[in-house]
Every structure is written in structure tokens, then in C-alpha cells.
Amino acid sequence: MANFKSFKTYAFIYSLNKGKMNSTEMDEVEVIGELENNMYKVRYKDIICKAMFNGFNCCYYADDVYGIIKEDTMNKGE
């Protein structure tokens, strides 16, 4: 993971889709690291959070509510 290069893409954002049956609202995120299989660390606005990549529809789903990564755990990959 030391060779991971960050990139910008669009993701479904949890806080924008909360309470909806289907996710429809997307916004730009910066993918800044890989945590584990299909799980990534992303920056959305000023929040560092976890995001899942769905390989079936090729979309990221960022959890900016419950998946926030605190500054002191950023280097541990948590």
C-alpha cells in the first residue's frame, strides 16, 4: 500500500442519502488510501472516512457519519 496514489472520483455519500430507499446523491471524494479488501480511506470535504467500493456497479459508498477516521488512528489503517 506504500505505492498507493490518491485520486478523485464520485461516491454516494451516506449523509446525503440518509433515509432514502436508494442512494441517489453523489459528490466528489478523494481516495487517499486502501484499508482492506474493497474498503478505502477517503476525504470528503474536511472529513476523513471509510468508503466501500462495489465492484458490481463500480461505485464508491462513503460513510461520513459512522465511518469517520479520527486523526490519531489514520496511520494505523483503522
pLDDT tens-place string over residues 10-60: 999 999 988 787 788 999 999 999 999 999 999 999 999 999 999 999 999
pLDDT of residue 23: 83
Rounded Cα–Cα distance for residues 2 and 19 (Å): 37
| Cα–Cα separations (whole angstroms), residue 70 to 19, 22, 78 | 25, 28, 9
What is the value of pTM for the model shown? Answer: 0.81
Confidence of residue 72 (pLDDT cuts 50, 70, 90): low
Per-domain residue ranges for the chain? 7-70
